[in-house]
Amino acid sequence: MANLGPAYYAPYPVATYDGLLTPPEGKAMLLTDIVDEEVAMREVARVMLTSDNATIFPGPQVLYAWSEEAKKKATLIKEMSEVLNAKMIPMYDYRPKYPKIDPEVEINPNHPNLTIWHNNIKAAIFIGVHCHYANVALKIVRSETDCYTIGMCALSGHEDAMATIRDQHAEDLARFIEIAKEVKQELGK
Amino acid sequence: MSLNKTLVDMDYLLNEAPREKHFITGAQAMAEAVKRASVDMAIAYPITPQSEVMHLVGDIYAQGHIKEYYRAEEELGTMSAIAGAARAGVRLFTATSGPGLLRGLEAIVSWPGHRVPCVLGILTRVVNAPLSIQPDNIEMAYMLHCGAVMLHAENQQDTFDYTLAAFAITEKVDVYIPVAVATEGFFVTHAKGYVNMMDEKYAYKEVDPYEAPVPAMDNEVPPARIQRDAPVQKSNFMSYLIHSVWQQEIWDSNRRAMKYIYQYLGGPIEVINPDADVFILASGCAAAQAREANRYAEEEGLSVGLIKVKAIRPFPKQEIRDALKNAKSVIIPEHNIIGWLASEVKSSIDNSGIVVDGPRVYGGMTLPVELIMTEIYTALGMETETLQA
């Protein structure tokens, strides 16, 4: 996405209005720049390790999917949260919740800002969320909060996140964890 | 029924699989594309005035190329059934035209918001009344603002290629909205033309329902429900915000389709003689007549350019702006009374005063090349013979 910070009440201009589209295969996107995946991984680790209340939002594809890949990913995400000193708040359901959700125990794609406001989250990784719902959530977060959003996507990525890394499978998450450990050591965290 | 097909990706199917020339109608061309697309389910209400497309698709279902064929009771039912089938993560095709398209429109315009990937053939006819079944593409204007990707085929070959490509585009995870492939009823659907096709043993690889931006309905994996997207009709700001970002996501998906239009169709426009001062810009079978006018002009030693618009949504604003940046005049022939293509072009370029509104024919009329030539002569400041009463 183009700029970090609220785009006021209206959630536009969204990233595509700034000419941004998901990065090509093998690349990642940091704000407006297409970069190598490792560059993005280092920056993502740095942001998560230096932001208040950094949080990972795992979605249904790693919470419920009954596959070996999902099991590996779930284990790695738990390790990731430990390495990044990050909390985990699940996005386990895509239905809007009325009159309101409990923002301490879940995040919802239709009003993700409530969870981010309540917990004062300044950096967050979305992972395992189906792309449509991730994009909806990322647009709202972008418009309503100052949270630095990171989309770690198994498919084609998310231009409305401030950082997006695409085609992330279990082996990529393992690589990210190793990079995050290095960054953590460099930062003395 | 197993037909022992060789399943390949769309790049191979479109660009590398060996092809042979056939002489077939546009309706046959669309059905032949469906035959090679590993379609799971076709749903239709094949009534006159349609085209032969869904009848032919019924034949290829009987031959075993399609797993299911469902005949709905009318078009709203057809298009609603498409949305329902999409929840199961299957590859879908339907086709309709004119009044049928408009009857199904309520369901069709909900497809993008529900992230329904499918291919919709639109074989254009007049919209009643008075009752008629003749060619006219006014119905495409009603589709422009629903969020679907729209391709417009010039001839039988385009109809075959665009329909095949549409199956790949609609299922891209960052697109995943319907792709409509339109062409003119009768002029293309009922007329024969040469079509280079790969052998029917080749077929597009089967759909992976898990490579999707939304969950397919799966009762073993929560959260599962028939109505995937719950209503957001509460009267509060949060509901408004949800709907607004949802709409934005649909149009973002539409924009993302452009890269695949480049990949599979070589881009959203074709430009001939890019240095000309006077252009003809057209889509669908009007582009065929524009191409003929371009040839006439060349024979007469006149420098006239041609811009064929293949993609109507996403509309290639930048590409057209670039192609027309030095143009002094652009003639836009159309098969409808309102000139929706001319309106699109005018809103895309800085110098909309160069647009010549027409010539337009409708109600079933053909588009004589002479009408376009008259506009060319006028644009070039040449004297022309005019019809006398």
pLDDT digits (tens, 9 = 90+) for B337-385: 999 999 999 999 999 999 999 999 999 999 999 999 999 999 999 976 6
B183 and B301 both lie in a single domain: no
Is position B249 within any domain? no
- CB contact B314 to A (< 8 Å): no
Contacts of B117 in chain A (CB under 8 A): none
Is position B211 within any domain? no
A81 vs chain B: nearest CA distance in angstroms? 24
Q: Which of B220, B241, B254, B260 to mutate to test the interface with A (most CBs of A within 10 A)?
A: B241
Looking at chain B, list the stretches that DSSP marks H as alpha helix, in order from N- to C-terminal side.
Answer: 10-15, 26-35, 53-62, 75-86, 98-103, 105-108, 139-143, 156-170, 237-265, 285-299, 317-323, 340-346, 369-379
The span from the CA of B174 to the CA of A173, in Å, is: 22
Is position B384 within any domain? no
- Please list the ranges in chain B whose pLDDT falls under 50: 387-389
Q: Which of B188, B204, B220 is the last residue of a domain?
A: B204
Is position B343 within any domain? yes
Q: Which of B172, B238, B245 to mutate to test the interface with A (most CBs of A within 10 A)?
A: B245
A95-150, pLDDT tens digit by residue?
A: 887 777 899 999 999 999 999 999 999 999 999 999 999 999 999 998 888 999 99
Amino acid at A95: R
B43 and B174 both lie in a single domain: yes
Q: Across the interface, do B173 and A10 touch by the CB < 8 Å criterion?
A: no
Is position B385 within any domain? no
Q: Nearest residue of A to residue B177 by CA position?
A: A132
- Domains: count for chain B: 2
DSSP one-letter code for B360: B
Q: Across the interface, do B214 and A64 touch by the CB < 8 Å criterion?
A: no
A25-38, pLDDT tens digit by residue?
A: 999 999 989 999 99
Q: Across the interface, do A156 and B174 touch by the CB < 8 Å criterion?
A: yes
Domain ranges of chain A: 15-187
Q: Nearest residue of B to residue A142 by CA position?
A: B245
B59 and B147 both lie in a single domain: yes
Q: Which of B166, B188, B204 is the last residue of a domain?
A: B204
- CB contact B230 to A (< 8 Å): yes
B188 and B297 both lie in a single domain: no
B200 and B278 both lie in a single domain: no
What pLDDT sits at residue B259?
Answer: 95
Q: Across the interface, do B213 and A135 touch by the CB < 8 Å criterion?
A: yes
Collapsing DSSP to helix, strand or coil, A25 comes out as coil
CA distances from B195 to A12, A114, B25, B158, B160 (A): 45, 56, 9, 9, 8
Is position B131 within any domain? yes
What pLDDT sits at residue A3?
Answer: 47
Which CATH number belongs to the domain containing residue B145 in this structure?
Answer: 3.40.50.970
The span from the CA of B337 to the CA of B333, in Å, is: 11
Q: Across the interface, do A96 and B239 touch by the CB < 8 Å criterion?
A: yes
Helix A37-50 to helix A170-187 angle (10° resolution) is 50
A vs B, Cβ pairs < 8 A, gives 92
CA distances from B151 to A88, B122, B180, B348 (A): 44, 10, 6, 18
A146 vs chain B: nearest CA distance in angstroms? 17
What pLDDT sits at residue A2?
Answer: 39
B185 and B330 both lie in a single domain: no
What pLDDT sits at residue A7?
Answer: 46
- CB contact B224 to A (< 8 Å): no
Is position B350 within any domain? yes
Report, at the CATH architecture level, how domain A15-187 is classified.
3-Layer(aba) Sandwich (3.40)
Of A67, A44, A175, nearest to A128 (Cα)? A67
Q: Domain range holding B355?
A: 269-379
Q: Across the interface, do B115 and A132 touch by the CB < 8 Å criterion?
A: yes
- CB contact B232 to A (< 8 Å): yes
Q: Nearest residue of A to residue B318 by CA position?
A: A19
A49-87, pLDDT tens digit by residue?
A: 999 999 999 999 999 877 899 999 999 999 999 999 999
Q: Which tokens is B379 given?
A: 């644009």
C-alpha neighbours within 13 Å on the C-beta side of residue B313: 26
What pLDDT sits at residue A9?
Answer: 43
What pLDDT sits at residue B385?
Answer: 62
The predicted model scores a pTM of 0.94
Q: What are phi and psi of B251, to 5 degrees?
A: -75, -30
- CB contact B16 to A (< 8 Å): no
Is position B257 within any domain? no
Which CATH number belongs to the domain containing residue B327 in this structure?
Answer: 3.40.50.920
Q: Which residues contact B353 (CB under 8 A, 6 or more apart)?
A: none
Q: Nearest residue of B to residue A14 by CA position?
A: B248
